[in-house]
Amino acid sequence: MNNATKLFNLASSAAANAYAPYSQFKVGAAILSSSGNFYSGCNVENISYPLGTCAEAGAIAAMINGGDNKIAEILIYADSKALISPCGACRQRVAEFASADTKIHLADKSGIKKTFTLEELLPNNFKEF
């Protein structure tokens, strides 16, 4: 199984486990770390919307908990009509642990539809200079 397929399977499985009773919009994310490990996360809503967490944040937390701190690739999955892209906050979260050329894949239930680099999605992000 190649990395893209594994990322897709992990993210879609994570989305199935998302806690989204208010929006019914389930999202999953999966990360391949620079050391070759895979991590996933899902969105977790809260009745007070600002307290919820995005799937990307969950996957990053799992990666950090697993002892890794560098994203090689990340995939964001949602079973929706339109592709979803990381929100602004998650773009910056990814930037904290990625490089400008890190691949960010966007997928729906039929597979990966678009791939961007971090630089394309968040040029001039906050980085330590």
Provide the annotated active-site residues: 56
Helix (H) or strand (E) holding 9: helix 3-16
Structure tokens at 33: 């770390």
Q: What are the DSSP calls for 62-110, one per residue?
A: HHHHTT---EEEEEEEE-SSS-----HHHHHHHHHT--TT-EEEEEETT
Give the separation between CA 24 and CA 103, rounded to whole angstroms.
28
